[in-house]
Amino acid sequence: MPVTLDYLTQLFEANHNPANAEPMAKYMKNHFPFLGIKKPLRAQLEKQFFQETEILKQPFNRDFVWALWDKPEREYQYTALVYMEKMMNKLEKQDLPFMEQLITTKSWWDSVDAIAPKPVGAIAKKVPEVIHETIGKWAVHEDLWLRRAAILFQLKYKQDTNEELLYQYIKQNAASKEFFIQKAIGWALREYSKTNPSSVKQFIESSTLAPLSVREGSKYLHKR
């Protein structure tokens, strides 16, 4: 693993761009430093890295992900997210606590919004008992990012969405004054409205939600 990480570090350091790094960090409210590698170039470097190391042919490697999470620059976390997305079919129930650790470490919307509907969503679909055992506890957790993850984990489920569960988690968080919770509620409703607009419309009209959640959740409903 160190050799693999060293190679990725060499690729990224060779493409360090200070002129890009400052505005990229500013966009993320200066929560994280950046190398200044924009997404198109990073995707090229990741493709080269995955091909040459053949790491995607190996079992899911938590140590590799955590080593990337531990690096200061945010691009390394983005590569960890890409790696996990490509390895979703290899994720199992025992990987969920690790996902929780990632959600609650270096937390910001960019990482949480990738982990929740992709790795977490994939694990929950494969092993539904984790919803009751773990994700349900996230929905009422003191950590706002776990609450956001619980609201968003079904984002890609479409017709497989457990509507009752979605609405339950939303109701449990509807009174939150936290922007990232209100926004997640709106996003989840907006996405589900593509599948079941009448249900979402009825839910919004019969629930007490923050104006931001209503506005975001109703976007596609107004176009019908």
Report the pLDDT value the prediction gives residue 100, as an integer from 0 to 100. 98
- The one-letter amino acid code at 172 reads Q
Class of domain 1-88: mainly alpha
- Per-residue model confidence as pLDDT tens for the chain (224 residues): 557 899 999 999 999 999 999 999 999 999 999 999 999 999 999 999 999 999 999 999 999 999 999 999 999 999 999 999 999 999 999 999 999 999 999 999 999 999 999 999 999 999 999 999 999 999 999 999 999 999 999 999 999 999 999 999 999 999 999 999 999 999 999 999 999 999 999 999 999 999 999 999 999 997 65
| Residue ranges of domains in the chain | 1-88
- Kindly report the number of other CB atoms within 10 A of residue 84's CB atom: 25
What pTM was computed for the model? Answer: 0.95
Report the pLDDT value the prediction gives residue 222, as an integer from 0 to 100. 76
Only one residue has tokens 């009825």, namely: 202
* Distance from C-alpha of 151 to C-alpha of 167, rounded to nearest angstrom: 9
* Distance from C-alpha of 31 to C-alpha of 85, rounded to nearest angstrom: 24
Non-local (6+) Cβ contacts of 94 within 8 A are none
Tell me which residue of 68, 64, 124 sits closest to 92, measured CA to CA. 124
DSSP state of 59: P
Chain centroid, CA 172 distance in Å: 20
Are the beta carbons of 111 and 81 closer than 8 angstroms? yes
